[in-house]
Amino acid sequence: MSSNKIIIAVIAFTLLIIVGGLALVSNSGPKELEVTKEVSLVTTETTHDWGNIPINDGKVSKSFEIKNEGQGTLKLNNISTSCMCTTAQVVIGDQKSPYFGMHSNSTWVGELPSGQVANLIVEFDPAFHGPNGVGQATRQILVETNDQENPKLTFNLSGNVIK
């Protein structure tokens, strides 16, 4: 085989690997939802203050209700938190999503039928940042939806980590 054919074969093989890798990566990220007027997302609260949180007393949690008062199916996805010390999980009926964190890149989509309620359960670990991680802590949970009026939800949580 001549050296030109070898070079062409190596280039073709390299391009094949690059194109295949890009196709794989482009299909593995969060799905973008098509917004609709058919759903109507309602939450009674989007903020919570835990007050003083002792650093050594374990995790604290908060549950937020998300209700679908529209006619179509409400979809929830691309859930992430603002810090690794905080996780979020969606519960719809008896089905639980994976736990989501700061670097979540999930293809999970929660589907909430008309008239149903989902719970967004947030957990904060006050000991995550070590013994010097005391003081005011403010965290956010981000949720994307297919609700035209609320395509992105932000839940804000705060507390004062104490020794």
pLDDT tens profile 104-155: 778 999 999 999 999 999 999 999 999 999 999 999 999 999 999 999 999 9
Does the global pTM surpass 0.95? no
- Cβ neighbour number for residue 37 with a 10 Å cutoff: 11
- How far, in Å, CA of 13 to CA of 8, rounded? 9
Element (H, E) at 52: strand 47-54
Q: What is the largest CA-CA distance in the chain?
A: 74
What is the average pLDDT value for the chain, to the nearest integer?
Answer: 89
Check residues 4 and 1 and name the one with the higher pLDDT: 4
CB contact at 8 A, 123 and 109: no
Q: Kindly report which listed range (22-36, 39-53, 82-96, 139-153) carries the lowest average pLDDT score.
A: 22-36
Is pLDDT at 28 greater than 60 in this prediction?
Answer: no
Please report, for residues 32, 79, 106, the alpha-carbon distance to residue 75 in angstroms, rounded to integers and kept in the order given.
Answer: 10, 12, 14
Is pLDDT at 10 greater than 90 in this prediction?
Answer: no
Q: Number of H helices and number of E strands within the chain? A: 1, 10
- Cβ neighbour number for residue 18 with a 10 Å cutoff: 10
- How far, in Å, CA of 163 to CA of 3, rounded? 70
- How far, in Å, CA of 148 to CA of 50, rounded? 31
State residue 108's pLDDT score. Answer: 95
CA atoms within 13 A on the CB side of 53: 25
Is pLDDT at 22 greater than 80 in this prediction?
Answer: no
Query: What's the pLDDT band for 13 if we cut at 50, 70, 90?
Result: low
Please report, for residues 20, 21, 116, the alpha-carbon distance to residue 8 in angstroms, rounded to integers and kept in the order given.
Answer: 18, 20, 59
State residue 8's pLDDT score. Answer: 67
